[in-house]
Amino acid sequence: MICIEEIEAQRQIIQREIYLLKTQEQRNILGQFSTPTILANDILRNALKLMPTGEKIRFLDPAIGTGAFFSALNNNVCSSTCIESATGYEIDEHYGKPALALWSKSILDYQLNDFTKVPSPLNESEKFNLIICNPPYVRHHHINGQKERLHVEAIAAAHMKLSGLAGLYCYFMALSHRWMRSNGIAVWLIPSEFMDVNYGRAVKEYLLNEVSLLQIHRFDPKDAQFDDALVSSAVVWFQNKKPDLNHQVKFTYGGSIESPAHEKMFSAGTLENENKWSRFPVSNEREVLITPRLSDFFSVKRGIATGDNKYFILTKSDIESKGLPISQFKPILPSPRHLSGIEVESDDLGYPEIDPQLFVLDCKLAISEVKQLYPELYAYLQIGIRTGVANRYLCKSRKLWYAQENRAESHFYCTYMGRSNKNGKKSFRFILNHSQAIVANSLSKAGSGGGYRQRFRNGSNIL
């Protein structure tokens, strides 16, 4: 028989000691951020309410650390009669070794292993009916070498098609799907940004289509009971069964999980139609407008991100003096600071009538072709390789490091990062462009949209 109060006290000491041994940077790389005891207990109690009564618990924490959730489980149920089995995975032996010793007399099967590489159980009887996880908050650029493998596995496990910008926590949720018993409960403490950002769409589709999403709770940032990393978190509870036709989801906000300041049910249909879930439950579902919106006439895009403007953007005389082929360049406007007025005229070649005229390297030829056709450009690319430009994050992520993303020129540009004027108001300047110049990402461009015509032709979105 273990005494959970004593173990929890020791666990907190171990947790503090490990924190002191590691730098913030080291913790960020493995997404190490422990769940405060009070919160772990709140999350767990809510999960227990959702479990069918009398069912023995098979507990899994795929990123267990020192075991905050397993401790909370023992604190809230009688371990000898209610827990059938408990398993936790941890990649880092700094946590693993002391945690293994701490829980050695308990039922917990503590595995020092990379959860994303462990094969999931094949039989239903080996799966888990209670998965609770505060997964590693590791940003996408720290998982670069693993993305392809994780991407394929997330689709296979949960039909979750994650974009390259998704953090490791999304893959943890997807991969855990195969570890869940049918009708089992899962709880995830994750960054709430998934509710609004583009890469979160695949997570939301999973929550709406593959499982029955039960509740999402968010903390009020003004509520100081948890530190910074937590106020931007959301707790997500769901059950491993396909949703009913009229499925409703509880959204709670502020206060505590047990007694939230705001609470409201929303239908899965409402969630399906809303891109930004963070508006719930404080705001209601959006009214569907029948009046046209700006996006019905324009699509708005930021300008291109070159990865290194100094290297890629050259003046006409630079290009000429280096003997580079102008055909491999596109005219580009200078940054808003160097662009006065609100209209850009064009010369006969379509270049902007601005002094100096600027051009961005945008070559779509393979390096072997460049070598053969344009030796001077080939030599310039070699300089880019030697000086590390080719190795920069953005350049590296392109198919050809020296080819820019495809952006046609537009008649309308907006200086959306303009400086404040004397009255402290942001100066958004719209520029009418007659030339063929594109822009870098300090400006955004507007093209013609088709949404309005589409919506009204279909008539489907009017009501």
Ligand X SMILES: C[S@@+](CC[C@H](N)C(=O)[O-])C[C@H]1O[C@@H](n2cnc3c(N)ncnc32)[C@H](O)[C@@H]1O
Among residues 133 and 249, whose Cβ is nearest to ligand X? Answer: 133
- Closer CB to ligand X, residue 95 or residue 402? 95
Of 317, 318, 362, 334, nearest in space to 433 by CA = 334
Are the CB atoms for 397 and 414 separated by under 8 Å? no
Q: Which long-range contacts (CB under 8 A, 24 or more apart) does 74-78 make?
A: 74/2, 74/4, 74/7, 74/106, 75/4, 75/8, 75/41, 76/41, 76/44, 76/45, 76/48, 77/48
Tokens of 144: 């670069």
Beta-carbon-side half-sphere exposure of residue 125 (alpha carbons within 13 Å): 0
Q: At what angle do helices 147-158 and 168-176 cross, to 10 degrees?
A: 40
Note the residues at the interface with ligand X (CB under 6 A). Answer: 30-35, 61, 63-65, 68-69, 89-92, 95, 114-116, 134, 136
- Cβ atoms within 10 Å, residue 408: 10
In the complex with ligand X, which residue's Cβ is closer, 190 or 381? 190
Between residues 33 and 380, which has the closer beta carbon with respect to ligand X?
33
Residue nearest to ligand X (CB): 65
- Closest to 211 in 3D by CA, of 237, 175, 179: 237
Closest distance of CB 234 from ligand X, Å: 14
CB of 108 to ligand X, least distance (A): 12
CB of 181 to ligand X, least distance (A): 21
Q: Which is nearer to ligand X, 23 or 423 (CB)?
A: 23
Of 74, 450, 108, whose CA–CA distance to 297 is shortest? 450
DSSP one-letter code for 416: T
Residue 172 or 380 with smaller CB distance to ligand X: 172
Q: How many CA atoms lie within 13 A of 322 on its CB side?
A: 20
Shorter beta-carbon distance to ligand X: residue 26 or 461: 26
Least separation in angstroms between CB 138 and ligand X: 7
Report how far Cα 307 is from the mean position of its chain's Cα atoms. 21
Q: Which of 173, 178, 84 is nearest to 134 (CA)?
A: 173
Minimum distance, C-beta of residue 65 to ligand X, in the bound complex (Å): 3
